[in-house]
Amino acid sequence: MLRYLVSSLQERNLNFFLLADSRCGDEFNSLPYTKVLPATLKERKKFYKQHGADFTSVLCFGNVPPPIKLKVPVYTYFHNISLLKIPSDGKLIPRLKFFLKQRLIDYYGRNTDAWIVQTDNTANELKKHLFSGKKQVYVLPFYHIPQELKAISLIKSGRNDYALIGELSYPRGHGIILDVWKRLHEMGFDRTLHLTVSDRTERHIAYRQKIEELKGQGVKIINHGTVPFSEIINIYKKCKAIVYPSSNESLGLSIIEAIESGCDVIASDLPFTHSICIPSAVFSREDIEQICKVIVEYDNSPASKSTLKIHNSINELLEIIK
């Protein structure tokens, strides 16, 4: 999203300064005006005190408003819904960290003039959980869909598989999808499921080991790992639908990509799904048997094509912040 935002600013010849944190490395060093800082509030505060008067508007892109009040319009793009809905069944320490982050964002919310979010669902959650959410909230999703992905929407034959595209995530339902595909195999339903889970942590490695165990039992799962987007396009080309048992999403880019590529969406019957698209089928993510039934019914019977309810709002975003 940051790369797309920067390229959009450049295409329109808008004069901008990028304050990036150290996680970006030197990727944006070729820009005319860029400064890389450690990802700390202390460094941000120091920068704004020295240079806050140099700008006509500020867009904070990483959920957290400025640590001081500025004399220019400030917009904060909030796109981590996990910071709003803290899981009630998680471990105490992670839940406490999420709570403290939430309170910090709420505290600094007095320093932003408005929030910008990606969906109506995120807007509703922000207003519910942040007192500072009472400020104006713009719903302005933006995303880049390559033409190569849109082109495969014309391909109708050879699309029999299913996918869950995205990195391993508890909220995204990766654990659920394995239970579902194991149960489908037991029922005699053997369509192939495509996943894209890396091996970067012990948790990822354990998940990949579970995939191999299921494959040894005859369950048809292909884990592609970390792949370039060209390979993601090839995965979509083989699939008729994505199965998305997520508990919540700030945007759900995989859903957008799937529909743009000609795939249908079978997803959790939750507000985030309905704020993004009109899915072909929905299910209760808590009920493995129901998810299996919904997938089998979709596979055997004609279903309405999934359609998007949102659009790329990059132009509206740039009009506001410029």
Q: In the numeric block, which tokens belong to residue 276?
A: 């993004």
Distance, in Å, from the CA atom of 65 to the CA atom of 132, rounded to the nearest integer, reads: 11
Distance, in Å, from the CA atom of 174 to the CA atom of 167, rounded to the nearest integer, reads: 9
Distance, in Å, from the CA atom of 89 to the CA atom of 103, rounded to the nearest integer, reads: 20
Question: What single letter denotes the amino acid at residue 172?
Answer: R
For the chain, give me the number of helices (H) and strands (E)?
12, 14
- Rounded to 10 degrees, the C-alpha dihedral 233/178/293/173 comes to -70
Taking the CA of residue 196 as centre, how many other CA atoms within 13 Å lie in the half-sphere pointing to its CB?
A: 19
Q: Do residues 106 and 281 lie in contact, with contact meaning Cβ atoms separated by under 8 Å?
A: no
What is the end-to-end Cα distance of the chain in Å, rounded?
18
DSSP-derived secondary structure for 122-167? HHHHHHHH-GGGGSEEEE-------HHHHHGGG--TT--EEEE-S-
Distance, in Å, from the CA atom of 126 to the CA atom of 106, rounded to the nearest integer, reads: 10
Query: Tens-of-pLDDT digits for all 322 residues of the chain?
Result: 999 999 999 999 999 999 998 888 888 988 989 888 888 889 999 999 999 999 999 999 989 999 999 999 999 999 888 888 766 666 777 778 888 888 899 999 999 999 999 999 999 999 888 876 678 999 999 999 999 999 999 998 999 999 999 999 888 999 999 999 999 999 999 999 999 999 989 999 999 999 999 999 999 999 999 999 999 999 999 999 999 999 988 888 999 999 999 999 999 999 999 999 999 999 999 999 999 999 999 999 978 999 999 999 999 999 998 8
Helix ranges, the chain (H): 2-11, 41-51, 92-108, 120-129, 147-151, 174-186, 202-216, 229-238, 253-260, 271-276, 288-300, 314-321
All structural domains of the chain: 2-139 (3.40.50), 147-308 (3.40.50.2000)
- Tell me how crowded residue 179 is: count the other CB atoms within 10 A of its CB: 15
pTM for this prediction: 0.88
